């Protein structure tokens, strides 16, 4: 059996690299500790900016809620004034959302009427896709009642143009406009199901 010949210099290099790796990992851990984002706090902050009129009273348990293809209702909160604050995500899919990250919308419904909505997250280009999240476009949903949307429990929501309301589309951002509409429609569906309307 041949004896392994390890020089002192090789040991020094290995130890030095090990110490560098340890120091680097400690530095990254410290940086992460100070830059870590509390997602729940960020969501509540965003809700406060969109809907400061009331305080969140409770969060609705969604464990038995069935989402539809391409959409996911992430959170539902009930405010102390009875408004439902719904965060819905639309994943990228053919003819649904334009970018890989998808679109997340906050939709606030009170007394069967959409009273506010806002883009929560998206990665659209500032010049084109982001226009679908501007008030000029989103205002067409304000004041619509939930009965203007064609939503049925258990039915797949696949066609953004379905239902009684068809939104005005943003030029050069059709997929994003469809994703916004699909998020609003999925939020309305969640509201109707959770309030016992179905």
* Cβ atoms < 10 Å from Cβ of 28: 10
Q: Say which residues have a Cβ less than 8 Å from residue 143's Cβ, sequence separation at least 6.
A: 113, 114, 115
In the chain, what's the furthest Cα-to-Cα distance?
85
What pLDDT is recorded for position 138? 86
Looking at every residue in the chain, the average pLDDT score rounds to: 79
8 Å CB contact between 198 and 152: yes
- Give domain limits for the chain: 55-194
In Å, how far from its chain's centre is CA 151? 21
pTM of the model: 0.71
Task: Determine the Cα angle at 77 with ends 76 and 80, to 5°.
Answer: 155
What pLDDT is recorded for position 66? 85
Residue 96: both structure tokens together: 């649904």
Per-residue pLDDT reduced to its tens digit, 134-187: 788 888 889 988 887 776 654 444 444 555 666 767 766 567 777 888 888 889
CA distances from 15 to 6, 28, 128 (A): 13, 20, 53
Question: DSSP label at 93?
Answer: B
């Amino acid at each position: 059996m041949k004896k392994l010949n390890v020089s002192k210099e090789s040991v020094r290099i290995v130890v030095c690299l090990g110490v560098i790796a340890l120091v680097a990992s400690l530095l990254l851990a410290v940086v992460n500790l100070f830059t870590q984002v509390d997602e729940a706090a960020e969501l509540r902050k965003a809700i406060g900016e969109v809907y400061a009129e009331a305080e969140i009273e409770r969060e609705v348990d969604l464990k038995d809620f069935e989402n539809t293809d391409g959409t996911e209702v992430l959170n539902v909160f009930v405010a102390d004034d009875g408004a439902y604050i719904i965060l819905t995500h639309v994943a990228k899919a053919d003819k649904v959302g334009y970018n890989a990250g998808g679109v997340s919308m906050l939709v606030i419904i009170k007394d069967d009427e959409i009273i506010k909505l806002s883009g929560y997250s998206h990665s659209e280009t500032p010049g084109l896709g982001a226009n679908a999240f501007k008030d000029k476009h989103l205002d067409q949903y304000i004041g619509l009642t939930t009965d203007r949307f064609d939503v049925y429990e258990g039915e797949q929501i696949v066609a953004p143009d379905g239902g009684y309301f068809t939104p005005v589309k943003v030029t050069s951002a059709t997929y994003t406009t469809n994703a916004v509409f699909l998020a609003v429609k999925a939020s309305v569906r969640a509201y109707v199901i959770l309030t016992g309307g179905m």
